[in-house]
């Protein structure tokens, strides 16, 4: 194998200290890039989680309020359960107390 140089001269080579400095600089740069990308990822993930959480909570509250009867039915889908519960509890209580229905 032929070399470009007949003799290796110190001006054409890196010393151990120079190589160590280059490696340290590259590692510091990689860490800085890694930290910046992790910060961006955490910020984006937090925003996405907040949006999904707020949406899930809003849909849960909407369904709960429709079941209770505070919000009117949507597209004629009545999911109000309060009237059914009142009728069943009234019938059960009246049958146990032997009081005629009013």
Task: Give domain status of residue 6, yes or no.
Answer: no
Mean pLDDT over all residues of the chain?
A: 86
pLDDT confidence band for 90 (50 / 70 / 90): confident
Task: Give domain status of residue 69, yes or no.
Answer: yes
| CA dihedral (37, 42, 43, 47) positive or negative | positive
Task: Give domain status of residue 5, yes or no.
Answer: no
Task: Give domain status of residue 45, yes or no.
Answer: yes
Tens-place pLDDT, residues 8-32: 676 778 889 999 999 999 999 999 9
Task: Give domain status of residue 8, yes or no.
Answer: no
Task: Give domain status of residue 7, yes or no.
Answer: no
Q: Which residue has the higher pLDDT, 76 or 60?
A: 60
Specify the number of domains making up the chain: 1
pLDDT of residue 7: 72
Domain range spanning residue 65?
14-97
pLDDT(91) > 70: yes
Cα–Cα distance for residue pair 57/31, rounded to 1 Å:
38
Task: Give domain status of residue 21, yes or no.
Answer: yes
pLDDT confidence band for 89 (50 / 70 / 90): confident
pLDDT confidence band for 92 (50 / 70 / 90): confident
Q: What is the mean pLDDT of residues 42-59?
A: 98
Task: Give domain status of residue 27, yes or no.
Answer: yes
């Amino acid at each position: 194998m032929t070399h470009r140089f007949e003799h290796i001269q110190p001006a054409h080579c890196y010393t151990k200290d120079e190589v160590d400095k280059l490696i340290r600089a590259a590692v510091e740069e990689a860490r800085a890039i890694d930290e910046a990308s992790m910060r961006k990822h955490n910020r984006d993930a937090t925003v996405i989680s907040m949006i999904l959480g707020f949406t899930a909570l809003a849909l849960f509250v909407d369904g709960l309020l429709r079941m209770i009867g505070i919000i009117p039915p949507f597209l004629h889908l009545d999911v109000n359960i309060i009237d059914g519960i009142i009728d069943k509890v009234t019938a059960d209580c009246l049958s146990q107390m032997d009081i005629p229905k009013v």
